[in-house]
Each structure stands twice: as C-alpha cells, then as structure tokens.
Amino acid sequence: MIAFNYETDFELTDEKRTSEWIIKCIEKENHELGEVNYIFCDDTYLHKINVEFLQHDTFTDIISFDYSLGKLVSGDIFISIERVKENASNFKVSFQEELHRVIIHGILHYMGFKDKTDSEKQIMRDKENTCLKVLNL
C-alpha cells in the first residue's frame, strides 16, 4: 500500500499513476511493496525532522525512514516541495522530473541502493533514470 499525505498546499496530480509507477520500479528490482507513506511538506517541517531525528541542522529535499524487511519495501518518505522546486531550477529540469526523481530515490534506498561513494551515486542515478523512463517523463 502506498499512501500520500500532504502537510503543505501541494498535491500530486495523479496519485494512482504515481503508485503504479512506484510498484513497477519495485517489482523490476525483484522486491515487493509493503507499506510506504509519502509525506509532502515544506522546508520548516522537514528541517524540524532533520534536527530532531538525525541531528542535522540543514535543509534537505528528502528524509526516509526505512522499515523494509528483506524484499518487502516499507517506510516513511518525507519530501520538501520547496527544496524540490529549488533543486529543479538549479539542475535545469522540470519540477515534475525532479519530484519523481526524489520520490523514487527513497524507494531505491529501501531496496538497498546507497549513495555515499561516487560509484554508489552513479548506480543510484542510473537506477533513478531507469525508473524515470518507465514513467515516460
């Protein structure tokens, strides 16, 4: 089950299509969907979580709490819409592309993909791009 929650004025335009896309990406990696909650929020909301739970006093676009067990993908993914908008502008991509990249980024972490080293970052970016192609952006 995928649930979308909104702590800001933003709402996805097509939750059903987004859910189906996420599930396809999960299944493509031979995992299965457990329970995933997306919480779309603003910078202030996500900054508070970053300080309280991770002791990081910085703004970020995404924080994910992984509850996955084995191949069952589960967790809470918090996304700052303000950061996504700014990043889209900085990276010169559409807001929708950046939003979907961040949406799937958390899921890829739940399936074991990391992004600490340069080689891990490249693998993560390749997986994100593969998933974005499935969505046909």
Q: What separation in angstroms does the CA of 99 have from each of 79, 84, 88?
A: 9, 6, 8
The pair of structure tokens assigned to 34 is: 């457990």
Q: Does 115 appear as a known binding residue?
A: yes
- C-alpha to C-alpha distance for 102 and 92, rounded to whole angstroms: 15
Q: Does 109 appear as a known binding residue?
A: yes
> Which residues contact residue 40 at a Cβ distance below 8 angstroms, ignoring those fewer than 6 apart?
4, 5, 6, 7, 8, 10, 11, 12, 79, 81
Q: Does 105 appear as a known binding residue?
A: yes
- Going by their DSSP bridges, the two strands 2-6 and 32-41 should be labelled as parallel
- C-alpha to C-alpha distance for 101 and 79, rounded to whole angstroms: 11
Annotated binding site: 105, 109, 115
Annotated binding site for Zn(2+): 105, 109, 115
